[in-house]
Amino acid sequence: MGKSSALLEPLADAIGRHVQRGQAIFADDTPVKMQAPGTGRTKTARFWTYVRDERPWAGDTRRAAWYQFSVDRKGIRTISHLKDYSGWMHADGYAGFEKLYQTGRIREVACMAHVRRKFVDVHQSAISHGGSAIAEEAIMRIAALYAVEKEARGSSPEERVRLRQLKAKPVLDDFEQWLGAQLTLISGKTPLAEAIRYALTRIKRLRPYLDHSILELDNNTAERGMRAIAIGRKNWLFAGSERGGRSAAIVYTLIETAKLNGVDPQAWLTDVLGSIADHKITRLDELMPWSYAQE
């Protein structure tokens, strides 16, 4: 596997460059255990994913997921990964991303799914007492925003913006004002108050989606990209080393990108492994999964 991933690394790097040429990407990370020789235990490392998927607004049809591995979660890791990227980035509220935004090259788009999740947690924790009426109302208001997105999906960029301005903006404006009012009525030390404060902070950073057709309401695209890792690590348990983690990131990049393009990863990689050693480095695009799909 190590030798195969080394052979395929130029292809994974090319996928990374393709992702960074997008106008907007989706970013997420997840923890993974890595062996720490000499300690008798494992340490926590990270997998990162950066996804380019422009289907909702009929953009580039070549979809890609680029994975990276690091031994920690320091903000410098994302700066290194995205040193050549300029554009929008959908992401959660991870503080390490702030340095990326401070460069001025990358502009943040917050995630409504994370906001919703906090209200769902509050509502479910109070379900034995009839639930939380405020949390339930917040969930319903968020559902109204997703209803607009369902209507806009697949429409032209101009129509997506028109629908959002006409239908989503009034809902989001009212939701923000309503949240502020509710915060004055409850204890500031409750989980509900924490959820409201989080929502008010993130809504300010989500507003660009109303004006730009290339943006989405949430970061679920990246979270779906982490699903394979979340399932896989239950079986392989840990990375054997930093080198092993990087090899895994290469393999995940290739397999998940193939899946995004409707290509059988095994058939494609079998073909690629048989030809990549003799293939010119300047013609790697011919080996991409979207090129294979057209054959």
Could you list the mean pLDDT of each consecutive 10-residue stretch along the chain, which spans 295 residues? 90 96 96 90 95 90 96 93 96 91 95 97 82 92 97 92 98 98 92 96 97 97 94 90 94 97 95 89 91 76
| Contacts of 271 by beta carbon, 8 Å cutoff, 6+ apart | 292
pLDDT (tens digit per residue) in 128-165: 666 689 999 999 999 999 999 999 988 899 999 999 99
| Contacts of 120 by beta carbon, 8 Å cutoff, 6+ apart | 135, 139
Burial of 211 (0-12, 13-18, 19+ CB in 10 A): exposed
Q: Which is nearest to 15 in space by CA: 54, 59, 64?
A: 64
Residue-wise over 245-267: b if at least 16 C-beta within 10 A, else e? Answer: bbbbbbbbbbbbbbbbbebeeee
Global pTM reads 0.93
The two three-digit tokens of residue 67, written as one number: 């994975």
The two three-digit tokens of residue 151, written as one number: 């209507």
